[in-house]
Structure 1
Amino acid sequence: MTFWLELLLGLLDDMFFAAIPAVGFALVFNVPKSALVYCALGGAIGHGSRYLMMQFGLSIEWSTLFAATLVGFIGVLWSHRFLAHPKVFTVAAMIPMVPGVYAFNAMTALVEINQLGYTHDLFASLIENFLSAMFIIAGLAIGLAMPGLFIYRRKPIV
């Protein structure tokens, strides 16, 4: 019982704190006031679903891809309902999943290699963090493009 309670509290915490930057970036992107709630909800759904997938053993890269795809399809659903472009809802909702820590750690390792000289540990840290950041960013980009690949096709898939 404790596992499920900790999971639920962690999920609620994750979703609440993911909604804040989603709304902040939506304001920066001049999203209409009526869509701010949906941007916050999209950020919370995306980050929360990534959190859940990671808690059940999926890597952060794959979790980000699936969460971004989920947010992309939800954004298309909302865009049909509110007659707006899907990017109004989805771009700001993806921002909380941007891998800032991995990119920062990669740059820090690069600067330390420049200052202190090459070591295997610093280079391994640089490569590991850089590749994680790039794969997470690729997951966000592909997940954001997925609805367009499936819903807005001019030719049938088969």
Structure 2
Amino acid sequence: MDLLLILEKGFFAAIAALGFAAVGNPSKAAFRYVPIIAFVGNALRFTLMHYGGLNIAIATFLAAVLAGFIAVGFAYYARYPIEVFAFPALLPMIPGKFVYSSLLGMIRFMESTQEVAQEQYLPMIISNAITALLTMFALGVGVAIPLFMCYQASFRMTRGSAK
């Protein structure tokens, strides 16, 4: 296992998550916790894909579930909604390469006048689009599981009541 490569993926995801968190103008507490969640989530996804043999959608789902549970823990200590920590941390996991390749294939398909060339682009479009959609669906469902499991706790966390 190449530990340096895993750390590199996590590090750059943490930097990207800081940028996404800054767009939402969160509290200073979010800036402490969002990069940690992004680092762990992306490092886990990369490890599961490259060393665990899982495809990108399943690895993303498992990483999103873990990131969601970590966000629940940080939300408890910081007294902010779980979403403030989870969503910016997961944005670096959006499969931009597959979305881009799918759209590029669609543009090339439309520009092509030869039927043979168009037939070449169709499998690329379909494969990349399905991968992108399944991965984004896995992100959404993966982060929703901890949010729904800890729904009542989320209210107690942000309102300061101890039940």
TM-score computed with the length of structure 2 as normaliser? 0.87
Tell me the residue number matched to 2:21.
Answer: 26
Q: Is 1:10 equivalent to 2:5 in the alignment? A: yes
State the shift of 1:35 in Å. Answer: 1.7
Structure 1: which 4+ aligned runs deviate by more than 6 Å? none
Q: Is 1:146 equivalent to 2:145 in the alignment? A: yes
Amino acid of the structure 2 residue aligned with 1:126: I
Q: Which of 97, 109, 112 matches 1:116?
A: 112
Give, in whole Å, the separation in 1 of the partners of 2:147 and 2:74: 14
Q: Is 1:70 equivalent to 2:66 in the alignment? A: yes
State the shift of 1:80 in Å. Answer: 1.1
Aligned length: 148
State the shift of 1:34 in Å. Answer: 2.4
Q: Where does the alignment leave 5 or more consecutive residues of structure 1 unmatched?
A: 154-158
Tell me the residue number matched to 2:136.
Answer: 137
Give, in whole Å, the separation in 2 of the partners of 1:34 and 1:64: 25
Q: Where does the alignment leave 5 or more consecutive residues of structure 2 unmatched?
A: 153-163
State the shift of 1:147 in Å. Answer: 0.9
Q: Give the CA RMSD over aligned residues.
A: 1.2
Are the equivalent residues in 1 in contact too, given 2:109–2:122 (CA < 8 A)?
Answer: yes
Are the equivalent residues in 1 in contact too, given 2:29–2:78 (CA < 8 A)?
Answer: no
Give, in whole Å, the separation in 1 of the partners of 2:37 and 2:60: 14
Give, in whole Å, the separation in 1 of the partners of 2:108 and 2:55: 28
Tell me the residue number matched to 1:40.
Answer: 35
Amino acid of the structure 2 residue aligned with 1:28: V
Amino acid of the structure 1 residue aligned with 2:109: I
Indicate the percent of aligned positions where both proteins have the same amino acid. Answer: 31
Amino acid of the structure 1 residue aligned with 2:33: Y
